[in-house]
Amino acid sequence: MIPPKPPSRPNHVSLWRYLKLFRQDILSAQPQRLYRAWMAEFRTPFFRSYMMNQPELVETVLKKRAEGFPKSERISEGLRPLLGESVFLTNGETWKRQRRIIDPAFEGGRLKDTFPAMLQAAEAAVRRIRPLVGADIECEELTSHAAADVIFRTLFSVPIEHEVAAQVFQKFRAYQRQQPLLNLAAFVPLPRWMPRFHSSRTRENANEIRALIGKLTQQRAELIARGCAPNDLATKIMTTPDPETGTCFDTNEMVDQVAIFFLAGHETSASALAWALYLMALYPEWQDKLAAEAQAVNISDISEMSKLKLSRDVFRETLRLYPPVPMMVRETTCPQRFRDRDVPKGAQIVISPWHLHRHERLWDYPDEFDPNRWATENGKRCQREAFIPFSAGPRVCSGAGFAMIEGPLILSKLLQHFRFELIEGKTPIPVAHLTVRSKDGIWLRIVER
């Protein structure tokens, strides 16, 4: 059995057909040959883009010469109404200052402080699901709820049932469904002063989400000023001064950062967890192995997470097959030459975890689900050279360590108590909007274990 994979488009289509396919789904808009190509060029009337799949090229762009390949402004166009000047979109000195303030909150030792809140969210997810035993459920909604709960508990020490947290969650779900990855400004270069073509509903939802986040942030600032704020991620980030300038984030800057924490920490985790549950239903022998591991360990402390080896390998394999962020786009700041090809200044460099993780010249049986691959020589080499679910280099996701605890933990807790089964005629079709989700949801049946 091969897990679901979107069909590839024909090799040759018109530009307008390609743009239409791209807006519908970034994955099925690409030709099959990209799963073997080391480098590919795409031409439009306004710019050139180059996909890089060769590990040496990926390392050059993301690691060795990262400053020469900043985040592309074209991709950020569609996200800026919600994310403002968050660390996900900025470049240069602004980005460096933001990372100097944010990174300490996610260092290894700090994760120990956030683990109890993460565990509470996982246990709350089990309680929410129990009344659904015997029913057919849409798992992306289930995992979105669980991942949002983790974010609010670890960031602001409030559960998802908190009034403002619940409103942010509902508004964000509406935003995610309405906002395409790209809008017109991503394809047509527009000066900064020109209005962007975001729908009125997109702008309205973004403004409402930011207002709610601003309310939580302002309340936290007041608690910090009074000296009675909880020791969670929001407090850590808001009280950490930039070691070079001595300044902290002001309230508006913090709203930008909380917005990306919610997008990166909620959307991506929810996507990966939903696909992990589907894969467990598709491969029940692996589901039984993880359930036995969970019941034997019954995690109650972060020090025990190392015992969830199978859960970690399954979650890592899920991230390989269904990387939540399917493509990353950088921009050249000066002319380059890659693989005997001239790449002009201002060109878009596309790094695609989706294609890199399934590359036929790198991975053994790239489309197959095999959590055992991580113990093989091929798996170990590809993990170093061709596995980038959290990006790589200076811009690697600050929360990568956080996600690799959260995902196996929630997956283990759910499988400890429930069995997830396939529903006939409900095979999910992967599509990419803000993250890799299923076209019509991921539907599974829940059975008490």
Identity (one letter) of the amino acid at 137? I
| pLDDT (tens digit per residue) in 339-391 | 999 999 989 899 999 999 999 999 999 999 999 999 999 999 999 999 999 99
Note the pTM of the prediction, 2 decimals: 0.92
Say what the pLDDT of residue 435 is.
82
Task: Confirm if 237 and 102 have CB atoms less than 8 A apart.
Answer: yes
pLDDT of residue 185: 44
Measured CA to CA, the distance from residue 112 to residue 114 in angstroms comes to 6
| Domains with residue ranges and CATH for the chain | 15-448 (1.10.630.10)
pLDDT reported for residue 192: 53
* Kind and range of the H or E run holding 341: strand 341-343
27 DSSP 8-state letter: T
| CA–centroid distance for 174 within its chain | 18
Separation CA 308–CA 197 (nearest Å) = 47
Cα(280)–Cα(224) distance, rounded to whole angstroms? Answer: 44
pLDDT digits (tens, 9 = 90+) for 11-40: 777 767 777 777 677 888 888 999 999 999
33's tokens: 């040959």
Residues of the chain with pLDDT under 70: 15, 23, 45-46, 77-78, 176-199
Q: What is the model's pLDDT at position 267?
A: 84
| pLDDT at residue 198, rounded to an integer | 54
